[in-house]
Amino acid sequence: MSSVKNVIQDSYKLMLLKDYLREAIKEAGFSEVDIQKTPTGTRVGLHVTRPGIVIGRKGSGIRDLTKVLETNFGLKNPQISVIEIPKPELEPSVMCNRMSQHLARGTAFRRAVMWTLQTIMEAGAMGVQITISGKLRGERSSFEKHSKGILPRAGYHADVVVSEDIAHVETKMGLIGIRIRIARKERYVPEFELKTAKKETKLKPKPEVEEEAEAAVLEIEEVPYDESKPRTESEQIEKEEELIKTVETFEEVEEELK
């Protein structure tokens, strides 16, 4: 029973840690956390959309977060590494947080659902399913399920290809739950794949070509930072607010057809 208790305690602590990080580094677009115990301490990997917010000026954010993890959550000598998410639109946790913020700001739930579906599919997802439940319209609770694309429901591919996350948001009507499931194309493994053998011939570059390549490398300049890109999740939500208003819902389409 001792091993079972340890597993339960570790799972409970991990749940508390995730809840804390979702609020503490919400502006950085927190997705998930990886914890690995080592002989020298504990490795903590934070997957976020904006690493600079977590790191802080001269590493002040990392130092403050390390103290909290060591004192409040009992992690021995935590070593934090920040990992940037290349495509935030394909992470269910990030999209759940963004959709919950839209609902908290008063956006109609169907507009938020349609906008989230469109954003995820345009990012290159194979399929997506969004389930929203709670007091959506009146006093009675209800739920709606919207899907788009191809989404495996069971079997091996459902475990490998599909990832999901759940978020809750408090609105004027009451508590609303959001569940997003995303299927990614790059995780799909075909059962059979035919490969043809090709002979590769390596050619030695001429000295003139090598000199031109070196000169081209020296001429490369650093890409300037795009100031139009939102720096925090709040700025991202404010930018999307105007775009969500242009999304058509089923009710508007029905009125046009009448």
Domains present along the chain, CATH in parentheses? 2-85 (3.30.300.20), 89-190 (3.30.1140.32)
> By mean pLDDT, which of 42-56, 95-109, 165-179, 187-201 is the weakest?
187-201
Burial of 41 (0-12, 13-18, 19+ CB in 10 A): middle
Bridge partners, residue 178, by sequence: 132, 167
d(CA 165, CA 79): 26
240 vs 234: CA distance, rounded Å: 10
Q: For the chain, give the mean pLDDT.
A: 79
Q: Give the list of residues 6+ apart from residue 218 with CB closer than 8 angstroms, or none.
A: none
Per-residue pLDDT at 223: 38
6 pLDDT exceeds 70? no
Q: Is the pLDDT at 52 greater than 80, yes or no?
A: yes
Render pLDDT for 102-153 as a digit per residue (tens, 0 to 9).
998 888 889 999 999 999 999 999 999 999 999 888 778 888 999 999 888 8
2, 144, 175 from 9: Cα distances, Å: 10, 34, 28
Over residues 174-191, mean pLDDT: 84
Residue pair 157/198 in contact by the 8 Å Cβ criterion: no
Q: How many CA atoms does the CB half-sphere of 25 hold within 13 Å? A: 27
What's the CA angle centered on 127, arms 160 and 47, to 5 degrees? 60
